Amino acid sequence: MSAWLRFAVLSTAVISGLAWLVTLRWSDPMTTRAIWSSAAIASVVQLVGFAVARPLMRENPIAGWGLTLAAAPVRAEGSGAGCHLPEVGHSAEKVDIITPHITNGDHLEIPYYKFPFFLECTLPTWKPVHLGGLEIDLSPSKHVVFLVLGSTILFLVMVMVARSHRRAMAQGGVPAGGANAIEAMILYIRNEVILPNVGHHGDGFVPYLLTAFFFILTLNLLGLVPYGATATGNISVTATLAILTFLTVEIAGIRANGLGYLNTIFYWNNELPAAMRPVMFLIMSPVEMIGKLTKPFALAIRLFANMTAGHIVVLALMGLIFEFGNLISGAPLLMATMIMVLELFVAFLQAFIFTLLSSVFIGQIREAHH
């Protein structure tokens, strides 16, 4: 029996077995059918992925099976959880198809075999946490689910790449297939983007910046997958990434400059006449502090706006197909396809720009004493 056939039989058996175990806890027939349809789609995805990227999957096929669990809805212990077919109206009233796809929500869309070919699965609602007079809702949302999914995928892929690299080096060769491509991306980002901009002794910043690049790239690509959501189209996500970079930049400045770090906040130019120094201090110090805040603001807004705008354009063009309802609708379909190809490029570009600017900001503050 060939390796491909063995993988097909084994992966289908494992996915079916897991789906069967999960459905033991369900009494709702619709939710049970959703799990089985998701498992079937996951099996097909696994087989196609194995055929395309066989060297990478050979390293750890169990990790590939683990990714399919994300396609099956998990039973919620909180209130309001469950799956149901969305209500499809037949009135002439216009339906907003754009806003629900670019905003966060409390439900996921799960593949289904009946029209409209997806189920709405409501996520659990947890009791809010009270910190003094502050109420914090920690209930999972659609974007939170895809943040966890993106982290899991990235972790498993990098583990497989590391194992492939270690095995290839032990055999005196180089990794093959997807592992080789990812290794090439890592080396390019490290040697051509991070180290030249961060400056001397910048290896300590490579792990964070590479993690940021691949994490943003994974989230961007998940937003292009059918039934997916773009977590980087949420300003809270991009703002958090920007704040992490801001803290990294400031800590790097403190470590590199010591007390000289204060010069990056308070403007004091010893080359000016003594009478002008206090005046320029009062004028330029607020400008310096505002400049510190505009950098993370620019990182957050740029990533958020680009990922949101692309989806709005695609959905608007797709909406024209239903608006025209005739042969002219072929033009919006072609345009939407071209925009989707552009979106694939933008997914890589925005991850690259975020990493590049973060590297530049770290390098600037480390060299501020010069």
pLDDT in tens, 311-342: 888 777 777 776 776 656 677 778 778 888 88
Helix, strand, or coil (residue 5): helix
Angle at 348 between CA 232 and CA 245, to 5 degrees: 55
CA dist 253 and 107 (Å) reads 42
Average pLDDT, the chain: 77
| Cα separation values, 143 from 137, 276, 370, Å | 14, 52, 43
Pair of tokens at residue 274: 């003594």
Say what percent of the chain tops pLDDT 70. 71
The residue type at 309? A
pLDDT in tens, 150-169: 999 999 999 998 888 888 88
Tell whether the model's pLDDT for residue 106 goes beyond 70. yes
pLDDT in tens, 112-145: 887 777 788 888 888 888 888 888 888 889 999 9
Query: Residue 220, exposed/middle/buried by CB under 10 A (0-12, 13-18, 19+)?
Result: buried
Query: What pLDDT, on a 0 to 100 scale, did the predictor assign at position 98?
Result: 65
Determine how many CB atoms are found less than 10 A away from the CB of residue 361: 24
Distinct helix (H) and strand (E) counts, the chain: 12, 5
Query: What pLDDT, on a 0 to 100 scale, did the predictor assign at position 5?
Result: 54
CA dist 248 and 224 (Å) reads 30
Pair of tokens at residue 75: 């039973």
Determine how many CB atoms are found less than 10 A away from the CB of residue 133: 5
Query: What pLDDT, on a 0 to 100 scale, did the predictor assign at position 305?
Result: 93
Q: What is the largest CA-CA distance in the chain?
A: 87
Query: What pLDDT, on a 0 to 100 scale, did the predictor assign at position 70?
Result: 36
Query: What pLDDT, on a 0 to 100 scale, did the predictor assign at position 63?
Result: 37
CA dist 331 and 320 (Å) reads 9
pLDDT in tens, 176-226: 788 889 989 999 999 999 999 998 888 999 999 999 999 999 999 998 888
| Cα separation values, 270 from 36, 236, 291, 311, Å | 72, 41, 21, 51
Tell whether the model's pLDDT for residue 76 goes beyond 50. no
CA dist 203 and 337 (Å) reads 40
